[in-house]
Homo-oligomer: A and B are copies of this chain.
Amino acid sequence: MPIKFFLHEDEIPRQWYNIAADMPTPMQPPLHPGTGQPVGPQDLAPVFPMNLIEQEVSQERWIDIPDEVLDKLLLWRPTPLYRAEKLEKFLNCPVKIYYKNEGVSPAGSHKPNTAIPQVYYNKVFGIKRIATETGAGQWGSALSFACNQFGLEAKVYMVRVSYEQKPYRRLMMNTWGGTCIPSPSTETEAGRKILAMDPNSPGSLGIAISEAVEDAVTSEAMGRPPTRYSLGSVLNHVMLHQTIIGLEAQKQLAMAGDYPDIVIGCAGGGSNFAGCAFPFIRDKIAGKKIDIIAVEPASCPTMTKGVFTYDFGDTVQMTPLLPMHTLGHSFVPEPIHAGGLRYHGMAPLVSQLVLDGLIEPRAVRQLETFAAGVTWARTEGFISAPETCHALAAVFQEAQKAKEEGREKTILVNWSGHGLVDLAAYDAYFQGKLFDYELPQEAIQEALKALDGFPKPALG
């Protein structure tokens, strides 16, 4: 029995799956931050190109992947599906474990799956330059790679503390020709304001988003090439682009003659989780019995301890209000090492599916995630990104549970990226410098006060 399942290039999915067409509860619309009314496409036009806005609100179940996008995705896709046979032997539980290896992309994670189409649609719309923010750098490097492939400029505002402490992903951006500057910067009004208050500001994702959005919407007036903003998670079209993961996995599992009882992914903004899980949730809605688990850090428990309500995507209240699970837009997570999971909100699509009982959210603690990552490296060989280690921790929990229940289970986990440029986090773990942090209930109550007075979405 093989342990790796490859699809031929001509077997790559040619359409993305849009779960909006199958949602048991219709999605609530985003609201305009000024008027409180649903935002229309024109409200978003200064920020995103219209073809992506159309995708954001589409109700079509299947959306064609353009040939120009497929051509670029083929640089690393279809990605292999692996059977984690060596881990199975080590765990000695009645489980079969499959993982989808998204670490084989040039940027080392699932992020290019949406960076490539986003840049393509911008290019088609006549855009020459894209501004974005990045935390640890996964998204900024993926967008720089994609912009380079299509000949667009990339401008990345990187949270200053990460810019200084994590030079490797910045260097990846440079290698692909992207421009990366620390945020807050002196190049935007928002950045200058923050620096005036605190010249040593370490920055935050919220500030960086504000800078990137401002960069995009002021570019015309500033005489820069036509520019739009791009976001690497949370939004509907991002989830859509990532579904290629799960669609490939379904074909590969069929090759293996298998189907999962449990699908697991880590969730920060939700995109790698959604990408793998949504095609299986379609099966679940159609009656298939399957557990879908979204794993978040106990230090940033958006789905398990946050509330479902309208909130801003950024800290400084520039974005539309989105209906989602949130800890409040002013929430600042503890500096755990899984930078990609430190976000106050959750994708509206994922949030609604949690409400509808189709997704089980689960919070795991930091030390458990690194323990899982080390065991993974010492069995399967590959070193996992700290974000991915959260999903692995849940795999171990489910394997143990299967043993206790004496039931055979098949698990699919989305291995969202490798950890080769995150090794300092493993070092801190080995040196005993990491600790478990569970967000206290009082801190959550305090953070949620920022939401007082905002509209509340109706509960499914």
Contacts and interface: CB of A to CB of B under 8 A. Distances in A.
Interface of A: 2-4, 6, 8-10, 74-76, 86, 104, 106, 108, 145, 148-149, 167-168, 171-172, 174-177, 374, 377-378, 380-383, 420-421, 423-424, 426-427, 430
B145 A106 contact: no
Copies of this subunit: 2
A106 B382 contact: yes
A94 to B, nearest CB: 22
Given A106-B383, A149-B381, A167-B427, 6 more contacts: A75-B380, A148-B378, A168-B423, A171-B423, A175-B423, A420-B421
Contacts of A377: 106, 175-176
Contact of A176 (B76, B168, B378, B427): B378
Contacts of A74: 3-4
Contacts of A75: 3, 86, 380-381
Nearest to A146: B381
B6 A2 contact: no
A8 B430 CA distance: 37
A302 to B, nearest CB: 29
Contacts of A6: 6, 8
A420 B2 contact: no
B104 A104 contact: yes
Contacts of A86: 75
21 contacts: A2-B8, A3-B75, A4-B9, A6-B6, A75-B86, A106-B381, A145-B381, A148-B378, A149-B381, A167-B424, A167-B427, A168-B420, A171-B423, A171-B426, A172-B420, A172-B423, A174-B426, A174-B430, A176-B378, A177-B378, A421-B421
